[in-house]
Structure 1
Amino acid sequence: MKHLVLTFLLLITLNITAQSKYITKTGSVIFEASVPSFEEVKATNKNTTAIINAENGEFAALVLVKGFRFKNALMEEHFNENYADSDDYPKATFKGKVTDFSIEDLNGSKKNKQYNGTITFHGKTKSLNNEVLSISKNADGSLNISGKLKLNVADFDIEIPKIVSNKLSREVDVIFEFVLTKK
């Protein structure tokens, strides 16, 4: 009987904990390093995993670097082999916390929130402070989280060869959008 009660309490605890997390495995991350008058340098990854803890606003995302798709295959190959070194650094991650996050405050309209955390790419980690994202709760209970940030390629020890230096921006726009459902 004692084991049955403990098992029941454990299941209730796990169920309560699980209800406070929202997750997706189909989030979208887009990056663009284009410069005017040259070919667009833009890629999309639609298989990003993201999770948020609704109790405390802790947020994390994982991107498989080889999942980025470009308009042409040669550009994708150059990105993976010459810039991202995706065989050596297969994942990019974000870990952080949304400031003043409260699931109860979300009512369908977008709310802008600040977040702090770290982003790791190409084996280098950079702090992100007071960045802004938008978050809203849908009628079905899912959460929309989206935002945009600028990253400098030098912060991640990515060298741009002189031959293409005027065709690639040293500041990369990163746009993310996630629809997370209760776990």
Structure 2
Amino acid sequence: MPVNSTIIQRFLEGDQQALSHLYDQYSGAIYGVLLRMCRQEDIAQDVLQETFITIWEKRNSYNPEKGQFYTWAYRIGRNKMLNFLRNSPDLIQKEDLSVYDNKGASEEQPLDREALNGAIAKLEPHHKQALDLVYFSGMTHREAHQEMNVALGTFKSYIRQALKKLRENYQVVTALLMMMIDKML
């Protein structure tokens, strides 16, 4: 979904029509991610609006040389939804939390988030991005490979390689990811 660099430049200079164009082009994709995260249309729509308000307010922090506009906007939306969900625990249904259970360990041993983050941090950047897009952001393989601008087969190999490295480095992460994969299928 690359966008014309002229529109990005106008957006960075404060042109509201450029923002409107970006909204028209990207709001549908971002809304889809938000809806998958919360499963409630009204909440996804509210967070989408907040996302584009933040995009406008923080436009000076976007650097086109560091990444695509969609990636930057998507992360803002995803973070807004995660913050919303953290602050609204009543919206998270019990069955949705089952993907975070650690079935590979004893009931007394909670999932060590630091170890999980450490294992993921050891991955190559493209492997981390592939996992993030599919397993933590809710994108399909087709959406994610397009976002990364790589062939679908290459993208799938990134996922396989990342899971293999995680299996080697951290068995609990494998259990967590496998539960997430099973839930998605």
- Answer with 1 or 2: which has the greater Rg: 1
TM-score, length of structure 1 as denominator length: 0.26
Task: Give the structure, 1 or 2, with the largest relative contact order (CA under 8 Å, sep 6 or more).
Answer: 1
Structure having the higher strand fraction is 1
TM-score, length of structure 2 as denominator length: 0.26
Structure having the higher helix fraction is 2
